[in-house]
Structures are given as C-alpha cells and as structure tokens.
Chains A and B, each alone.
Chain A
C-alpha cells in the first residue's frame, strides 16, 4: 500500500501573498475604470443627440466639484493603467533585434510611455484650440 498522500494547498487570497500579484490585480482593476469613463463619454454622446440644452446640462454636470474629483481620481488610475501595460509590453512583443541583439525592455516601455505622453499633449492642444 502506498503511503503517499499529496497535500494540495489552498489558493484562497493568492493575490495578497506577493506585492507583485497586488500590482497585477491593480493593473487588471484599472480596466473597470476605463469602462466607467467610456460610459461617461457615451452619456455625453447620448445627451448631444437630445439637443443643445441637454448637452450643455451634461457639460455643467461635469464641472461640479464631485465630477472634477472623480476626473482627477480617474486620471491617476489611467496613468497607472498606461504605465503598467507599457511595463509588461516588452514581454508581450515579438523579439526585436536591431543589431542582432534583443532590444532592452526599458527602451520599449520608455518608447510606449513617451508616445502616450505625446499623444495626450497633442490631443490636449487640439481640444484647447491651440493652433500648432
């Protein structure tokens, strides 16, 4: 008779076991807030279709202190979202071998973050009506 009795450990609370997993879960959770903001914008489109008065009321609602606080909170979340996804990007891409050697992961992350920052600034400039 075999004396073997393999013990399987529980996975309960696995993501709290390691700071790496906590950061991973935080990254995944940011997606919920991206959806939340997409809904805010979708409501804007809906209000636009209902006429000028409805759209202006929506714009006014966005300027309320609560809404501004929500936007600042979302901005922080989106910055983390952007940073965490570009951080994992070197691991998700095919090998790039410009001189026969693998591109440094930091370079890929940095390029992604720089592109994101530039696009944000460009978008901001366009929205603010600044002519380049």
Chain B
C-alpha cells in the first residue's frame, strides 16, 4: 500500500472539488456527474488529481494516461469544457472554484473518461501516414537531401501526437463524424508536403471528398487547443487551395501533369 502524499510542512493542505462525468455502461443509462474533494499541492496536474481519486477515493474511475509529459497523447480530457492534456494542466489554476472534467467531446463514451477513438484510428490508417518513396532507392544513392524551406513545409505538422484534442474542438466532426477531421488531415498534409514523398496524388483523392477538406468551415479552434502547435486548420485550408487548384487546372493541363499539380509540393527555395 502506497503512503499518502505529504505536502511540504510550510504549505497548508488545500482541497479542490473535482466533478467528473461518469458513465458505467453496466449500471448507468446515461452519464452522471460525481464530485470528489481532492487534497492537492501547487505542483499537481489534473491527471495527478484524477489519479488521486482512483488511488484513494474511488477505484472504479476509469481514464487513460501513460507518459505524464505531454508526448503520448493519451490523457486528453475536457477540463472546464476545454479539450486539454490533463498532464499539462494544473489543479492550482482551477482553485478555489474547482473544476469539471468530461471525456473528450464528439467521441462516444466507452466508460467514464475513456472514449472510443476507433473512428480516428481507422481514418489515420487510411491516409498512409508514412513516406511512400517516389521510386525505389538504393543505398549507393545515399540519403535524401532537403532544403530548410522544404523541411519547414512539413516540420510543424509532424508534431502531431494523435491526442485527438482537435477532434473535440471541431464542431464539424461532432455534427458529422464522416468528416476526416483536423488531426488526420494535418498528418495527411505532413506527408503530402514532404518532398521525399510520392503518394500525394493518391492522398489527394481523400482530400477532394466532401468528407475531406471541404467538411471544414474554418472554425479554427483545432489549432488553438493543439498542445503541440501543429496548426491543423492551416493544413486543412492549404489543402482547400490545393484541391481547388487541382480541380481548375485539369481544364488547362494534360491529365498526368494535373495529378502532379495536386501534389502541392511548394517550398523549394
């Protein structure tokens, strides 16, 4: 048995009220709010608060977490109605008012704070989220060379950790989950904008669809909540331009060239 966390002697123990939306499919017909009084110190994250509940107050509470340092993307929750990684959000910022924690919005609730992200994973697999070489390359040919400009075109979008906070920030995804959504489209752009990649014409077929970039209405909240500064809204909207260009260029260019035009391979400086 673990011993109780002891705050430093100089600091009085503070207690914060954490309300959690609970859903136990075997007993709840719909989610219910349950409140806990959690003692905390100023260095405790919301994740640590939830872990305290599970360890000392209510062992039945379910939630996902892993790394505790904003890189695994597992611990996303709606904290005070805003999608955040609970490991990098601090309880002190909600004191003394207390806070409310919901499972990530727009996803079906599996149990308590655990949501079902199968739809996201399926879409992620569909975009070939890896570099597809343009042609076979031998070791003798050496490494790929890129200019700083070519690197900059995709570097930012490669920061995605699949935490799905952007999906919880996207009302278009909430209203119609057929929309591919910000995260997957940002990763699609990460590979399409990479000068080493040769599969962009194929990926553009997904971009062109109603469920692709055209499902986006430029709300822009996805980029605000992204914990990694990926800016999915920019990736999506760059591809609206690319998709429109591809559509109009087909009237003035031979077919093979038009497909290449869709590749959106700007950035060579």
List chain A positions with a Cβ less than 8 A from chain B: 3-9, 11, 14-15, 17-18, 20-21, 24, 28, 88, 90-95, 97, 100-102
Contacts and interface: CB of A to CB of B under 8 A. Distances in A.
Contacts of B110: 4, 6
Contacts of B237: 91-93
A104 to B, nearest CB: 13
A102 B152 contact: yes
B9 to A, nearest CB: 41
Interface stretch (B11-19, B24-32, B69-77): B24-32
Contacts of A91: 218, 220, 223, 231, 233-234, 237
Given A7-B23, A93-B234, A97-B149, 10 more contacts: A4-B25, A5-B25, A6-B110, A7-B109, A18-B82, A20-B221, A91-B220, A91-B237, A92-B237, A94-B238
5 contacts: A3-B26, A4-B110, A17-B81, A93-B237, A94-B266
B165 interface: no
Interface residues of B, number: 38
Interface string B205-230: 00000000000011111011000000
B269 interface: yes
B149 A15 contact: no
Contacts of B156: 102
Contacts of B217: 28
A74 to B, nearest CB: 23
Interface of B: 23, 25-26, 30-31, 81-82, 105-106, 108-110, 116, 148-149, 152-153, 156, 171, 174-175, 217-221, 223-224, 231, 233-234, 237-238, 240-241, 266-267, 269
B221 A8 contact: no
Given A21-B219, A24-B220, A9 B109 contact: yes
A9 to B, nearest CB: 7
A3 B27 CA distance: 11
Contacts of B241: 94
A7 B108 contact: yes
A8 B108 contact: yes
Contacts of B30: 7
Contacts of B221: 18, 20-21, 24
A58 to B, nearest CB: 36
A24 B171 CA distance: 11
Contacts of A6: 25, 108-110, 116
A14 B171 contact: yes
A90 B269 contact: no
Contacts of B269: 97, 100
